[in-house]
Structure 1
Amino acid sequence: MGGRHDVVCIEAKKLFDLCVQEHRVERSFRVEGISDGHDVEVDCHIDTHRISCREVSDRKCVDHHKHREQVCLAIEVPVSLRLVNRSTGKVLRRLHRKVLIPKKVVLTVPPGADVECEATGDCCCVFDHENHEIHCVFDLCITIKSKGTVEVLVPVLGDCRPRECHAVRDACRKADHW
């Protein structure tokens, strides 16, 4: 190649900052129409693919030089609840609710960067016959990220050239060689 290297400009997503926090939330949901004679179990499911995250106020500068901003978020966690008769297995009621979690964090957020949230978790719920309420505890792991598109100069030493694939006999039976 004679010592000459090309340079290309690539547009890519950059993760500027992220933080992770465990968060426990307790919520109650009113339910009508369940008779007192039923032994009720509550199945709870968090739809982690539909969690939404939005900024609810202007960012407040914490450190101008490092682009550190205080961000106030509303995180909505969709929850599906099923009330099931324990003795028969019959579904008595299905409910879909959103658990709203306010969250304040400090992140590096340069101009043009977006703030995104992800969450995983589980829940435990009980039905209170006396008050006709479902009481739930949600244990969540919330990840908040600041991301943005950047342009990166990359030295090019050559093209990516594919190599020929070779079959290996009995590779599937000898998985321990990997």
Structure 2
Amino acid sequence: MTFPVIETSRLILRKPTQEDAEDMLVYLADEEVVKHMGLAPFNGVEDALSEIQWYDSIRREGSGIRWGIILKESGRMIGSCGFHNMDTAHFRAEVGYELSRDCWGKGIASEALGAVLRFGFEYYRLERIQALIEPENAPSQKLIAAKGFIREGLLRHYEYTNGKFDDLYMYSLLKNDMNFLD
């Protein structure tokens, strides 16, 4: 299957390519953008190219898909959104996203996330989409809650990233909870 392109009123969600590496570096080198992602800020274009290769690998393996978020107005890649840890036998996946800081607070993450969630439920026939979010990441929790996700609990010391153990809230959205489409 060719890479699916999703279009919204302001965005084109498409396959990230090597040509997007410079744009990606801009936001993934920003400490504020990556501080809740379990990543160190990117130092160069090689880091961005490696991230794009990871996106390609999860799609090839069938364990996920990651769309580049492109502003129609400028053609600039300003973030990404997609699924990873996809388990087709159990009809579930984790959703993740990040957005350039200059685009925060404009409803762009909500627009992209809504389109990706719809695609996951309709195309991949997912029953459950989950999100793992650090307790300190209030804006992400607010975004997920606005889409209808329910916080199920706290996973203590769930990940080890950047030299520390991270607690993560587990959120889920079931296909029946699709009020976010309204």
So what's the TM-score if we normalise by structure 2? 0.20
* Structure (1 or 2) with the greater strand fraction: 1
Highest Rg: 1 or 2?
1
